[in-house]
Structure 1
């Protein structure tokens, strides 16, 4: 007897045949759509070798692509660091037992989660320009980083709050029984455990930060997608230019995901390795 799935019953013979037919039909339709798109692009001359030749020259990369990559990675790196700091501070603020810390933190988080990222970028850009907060060459970067930091910091705060609240209450009760204060409990017991479980969600949000830098073109920020459209306009090869930019964005997101996955595995290994040492120390007789 076959084992039933937790979510649904195992399909019978007729259902399996029907599922195979649906899968084959879906694959055929998808292949036909891809073939039609490629044929249309080929008929327009967008996939000819001449359209790809500009990417074999160093001038195109130096003038257009590399400045876009630099802008995207700079904005993403600054936003990720600042959003993590802001998110953890607001997340801990929302978990605080002190009312005048918890309630303002909740208001800030809910407000910036509700405001679109583009609106915050535009507002910060014109605000910084009005009061000469940054040099004109850095205004667009400052607007992008501000918008991404505020929005993603609010989202990360909710991730932190959910991660800590998902831990068993016995952790906090045991810490209270040992006489630890709230800050000591959070810093030494709750956050180290919650970070490991939060990493997959945090990585997903950091990938969003990297992709959302493309919105900065609205405030004249030089980033990868904007530079791809500039290349397409200059050389008349929009499709090859956007394909190259897409591959670069996928590579950057993949590298970020791989680095976070390795960090998560390392944290889990160190956590498992620490358990036998603690057990052995507990079994040793006291002095």
Structure 2
């Protein structure tokens, strides 16, 4: 029994279900879905040769947000036993026990079904490709246990909106779509390695496989090379489409940001690496803006 007059600590208020679900899908951290959105929309503009129309724009914007949110649910369930040992993730709703595993999976399934309903308004090829996209999304959380560079798997998952955009516009997926996907995969490798560098010490203790661990002291060099490959491939494709100076300006702004990221990560501090990762969506936006402006001025 507490001594008379002692002050008992006030327990933290329990969050409502909506607040927990919004935390589960990282609603207050839009950088995650923006990283998926800009290359997907860039591909949509390439596929359509400019403005793709409101219908497809809405399908891919809303669908991207929904699928990223569903992916967060699956990822948190898969990683719940690992996340409690990592400083940055220990308080996630599933890891902390505030949201149960069945509950998180139900939320993820509802979001994925909503995204699928949007895909059903496109064409048969896009619908069929959505199953492959879902499969890669489900595989990624478990790749971190077996694949030395699981960021490559994430790169495919985060880039699958590119061929789907071509499928939705053209009812076919030409080689250029796969080149765009390959280029974007290197961007994902760059920014998710920065992300992995934040948790490297914790991941080493728990036996998680990441590119930051696999690359070792070459991590910064490989991140910068990956940025360069991404920008080079997308520049060549944009130049072939005749997008001209506007594209080059967007690519130049993106390249300047990549050089700034080198300054943030070269000392490998948690703060610098996380800041570089968190701001990567601006690099993607610069490339997308260059594509849009290029088509508008062509």
Give the TM-score, by structure 1 length: 0.27
User: Which of the pair is proportionally richer in helix?
Assistant: 1
Greater radius of gyration (CA):
1
Larger relative contact order, structure 1 or 2 (CA cutoff 8 Å, min sep 6) = 1
